[in-house]
Amino acid sequence: MSSPTPKLKFDQIRQRWIEEALKNRPNGSSVLDVGAGECANRVYARHLDYTSQDIAQYDGSGDGAGLQTGQFDFSEIDIVCDLLDIPEDRKFDTILFIEVLEHVPDPAAALAKLGRLLNKGGELISPRPSAASRTSHPILLHGVFALLLRNPP
């Protein structure tokens, strides 16, 4: 027997989860969207003090070789730098860290940096790394093996 509600794809479920999490933030609270790309989450944060960060911002100059310029628009990025270089002169109530962990070379350093950017009592919103990403497999496998070593079957 089939379900009356069609199954949602992971991306749709994740996006609804992010939307709900941001909707419930107090008006005017600060949000840093790390690895924001095209700032897709900005629409859910209209009532918030939203700041976006990513490592690249293409200004349209040059030939764009190697960039996905036809598919992505990074023109709305507020802070353009590596995650580890985000200035620590401002702290945030909420940090979005969506599908980013699997792309950073030093996950521990990245998480430590985010901790320094959070206000006391702040919240980091970060789903687990995407299992579909090849770059996340070593992180996921390392975690599974470490868990098995600590808790053998």
Q: Is 9 among the domain residues? A: no
Asked, for residue 5, whether it belongs to a domain, the answer is no
113-144: pLDDT as tens digits: 999 999 999 999 887 655 555 444 444 444 44
Domain count for the chain, please give it: 1
Is 11 within a domain? no
Domain contains 72:
yes
Q: Per-residue pLDDT tens for 13-47?
A: 878 889 999 999 999 999 999 999 889 899 999 99
What is the rounded average pLDDT for all residues in the chain?
A: 77
90 within domain boundaries:
yes
Residue 2 counted as domain residue: no
Whole-angstrom CA distances from 64 to 36, 67, 68, 103, 138 are 20, 5, 8, 21, 31
Question: Which SS3 state, helix, strand or coil, does residue 17 take?
Answer: helix
Distances (CA, A) of 117 to 32, 38, 85: 9, 22, 11
Q: What does the angle CA 18 – CA 68 – CA 34 come to, to the nearest 5 degrees?
A: 30
CA–CA distance, 121 with 107 (Å, rounded to integer): 22
Question: The domain containing residue 35 runs over which residues?
Answer: 16-150
Domain assignment present for residue 105? The answer is yes
Residue-level pLDDT at 141: 44
Q: CATH no. for residue 39?
A: 3.40.50.150
